[in-house]
């Protein structure tokens, strides 16, 4: 008998996950936007429910028969919905880039005998798995991750398109960046320590500190760890101007007797500018370096992950890399090969070599390029 999966959120990533998992499971997508649901039902025959997932009573009713829940929601509501799913006693694989610390829910999840895998995309997600796997097999001294998703066509002024809500993207620009240097946590503003990096067949991209390590700050003991976001050169300058001028502020200001938050106005203005349309071709690139010692000898590994818009399916690369990563972990939970309880960061799953290999193979079989080079 086929297992039932309920996917919360039918945006581009949620859609990709739904299409992928519906090939072998019974899938239901819940979203408040009927336009999104109509397409999923019409084009792919996927069961759909129009509902507000923040309504706890309705959510519990809609996931009552689910063998697994997948969260593909905006970060702003991800944490509260995760709590409600745990209370409902359902396992979940989640990709919501929530600003809250989901590890705070670990005791409750264990009490409810629930497996909740969080941050389960490409970065965070596969990036965590890479360092999690190697830190269990060697003494890691340094970890660096550079990652970004960009459109092929560079349209002025932004030269950028967003797979997610502009508010979620902007959160990355205002949240202080945390990284580890010489065993100590360092906190700097986003956009700090910029550098230009050249990638073969891609060209030069701009990298800066962003707050992407997340759970790794607490789960992995490596003396030097950093994650940087990749964009086209010149991006930092105009984003810093907007940030320092208050356009990203959540503090209300009064205009003609009406209070508004600058972030709401900015998001409204940027949404049509950053919207990744169905025919916009994009690429995703991630380079992870792990340096340290194996058997007391210097050792290092470099992972280069690359993906492009799929002309045949019309799926964007960021949706593919994020969605396939999530689907791979969902499959592991559904077939019972991973049963640990609590809040599970991706790096914890990757400690088990067979599971890490299985997830990497899952992406490769779907056309994602993954090159692993031993540096020395």
> How far is it, in rounded angstroms, from Cα 347 to Cα 79?
20
Same domain, 146 and 256: yes
What SS3 state is found at 4? strand
> How far is it, in rounded angstroms, from Cα 223 to Cα 220?
9
Domain that holds residue 152: 126-308
Same domain, 108 and 181: no
Q: Where a domain ends, among 265, 280, 308?
A: 308
**Number of compact structural domains in the chain:** 2
Same domain, 286 and 145: yes
From the number of C-beta atoms within 10 Å of its C-beta (0-12, 13-18, 19+), residue 196 rates as exposed
What SS3 state is found at 175? coil
Q: Where a domain ends, among 260, 275, 308?
A: 308
Task: Note the pTM of the prediction, 2 decimals.
Answer: 0.95
Same domain, 196 and 78: no
Give the per-residue pLDDT at 1.
59
> How far is it, in rounded angstroms, from Cα 81 to Cα 70?
11
Cα 372 → chain centroid: 21
Does a structural domain hold residue 374?
no
> How far is it, in rounded angstroms, from Cα 71 to Cα 229?
23
Q: Where a domain ends, among 308, 329, 360?
A: 308
> How far is it, in rounded angstroms, from Cα 138 to Cα 295?
8
Same domain, 332 and 292: no
Same domain, 153 and 47: no
Instruction: Judge contact between 286 and 122, C-beta under 8 A.
Output: yes
Give the per-residue pLDDT at 169.
87
Same domain, 89 and 20: yes
Same domain, 266 and 171: yes
Same domain, 239 and 268: yes
Does a structural domain hold residue 322?
yes
CATH number (domain holding residue 340): 3.40.50.720
> How far is it, in rounded angstroms, from Cα 70 to Cα 63?
10
Same domain, 340 and 251: no
Does a structural domain hold residue 44?
yes
Same domain, 137 and 237: yes
Does a structural domain hold residue 376?
no
> How far is it, in rounded angstroms, from Cα 359 to Cα 41?
28
Does a structural domain hold residue 29?
yes
Task: Report DSSP state, residue 103.
Answer: G
Same domain, 282 and 146: yes
CATH number (domain holding residue 189): 3.30.360.10
Pairing relationship of beta strands 92-94 and 115-117 according to DSSP bridges: parallel
**Tens of pLDDT, residue by residue, the chain (376 residues):** 589 999 999 999 999 999 999 999 999 999 999 988 998 998 889 999 999 999 999 999 999 999 999 999 998 899 999 999 999 999 999 999 898 999 999 999 999 999 999 999 999 999 999 999 999 999 999 999 999 999 999 999 999 998 777 778 888 899 999 999 999 999 999 999 999 999 999 999 999 999 999 999 999 999 999 999 999 999 999 999 999 999 999 999 999 999 999 999 999 999 889 988 888 999 999 999 999 999 999 999 999 999 999 999 999 999 999 999 999 999 999 999 999 999 999 999 999 999 999 999 999 999 999 999 998 8
């Amino acid at each position: 008998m086929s297992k039932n999966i309920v996917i919360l959120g039918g945006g581009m990533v949620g859609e990709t996950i739904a299409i992928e998992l519906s090939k072998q499971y019974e899938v239901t997508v819940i979203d408040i936007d009927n336009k999104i649901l109509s397409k999923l039902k019409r084009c792919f025959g996927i069961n759909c429910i129009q509902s507000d997932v923040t309504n706890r009573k309705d959510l519990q009713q809609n996931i009552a028969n689910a063998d697994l829940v997948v969260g593909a929601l905006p970060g702003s509501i991800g944490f509260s919905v995760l709590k409600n799913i745990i209370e409902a006693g359902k396992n979940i694989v989640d990709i919501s880039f929530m600003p809250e610390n989901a590890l705070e829910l670990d005791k409750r999840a264990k009490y409810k005998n629930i497996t909740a895998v969080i941050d389960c995309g490409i970065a965070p997600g596969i990036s965590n798995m890479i360092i999690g796997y190697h830190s269990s097999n060697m003494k890691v001294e340094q970890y660096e991750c550079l990652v970004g998703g960009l459109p092929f066509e560079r349209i002025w002024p932004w030269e950028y398109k967003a797979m997610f809500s502009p508010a979620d993207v902007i959160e990355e620009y205002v949240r202080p960046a945390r990284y580890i240097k010489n065993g100590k946590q360092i906190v700097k503003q986003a956009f700090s320590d910029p550098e230009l990096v050249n990638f073969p067949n891609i060209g030069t991209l701009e990298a800066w500190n962003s707050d992407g390590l997340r759970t790794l700050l607490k789960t992995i003991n490596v003396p030097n760890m950093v994650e940087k976001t990749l964009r086209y050169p010149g991006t930092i300058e105009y984003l810093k101007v907007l940030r320092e001028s208050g356009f990203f502020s959540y503090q209300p200001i009064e205009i003609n007797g009406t209070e508004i938050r600058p972030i709401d106005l900015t998001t409204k203005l940027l949404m049509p500018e950053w919207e990744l349309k169905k025919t916009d071709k994009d690429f995703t690139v991630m380079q992870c370096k792990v340096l340290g010692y194996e058997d007391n000898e210097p050792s290092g590994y470099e992972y280069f992950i690359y993906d492009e818009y799929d002309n045949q399916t019309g799926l964007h690369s960021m949706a593919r890399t994020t969605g396939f990563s999530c689907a791979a972990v969902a499959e592991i939970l559904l077939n019972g090969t991973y049963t640990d309880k609590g809040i599970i960061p991706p790096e914890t799953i990757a400690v088990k070599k067979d599971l890490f290999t299985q997830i990497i193979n899952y992406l490769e079989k779907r056309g994602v390029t993954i090159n692993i080079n031993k540096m020395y």
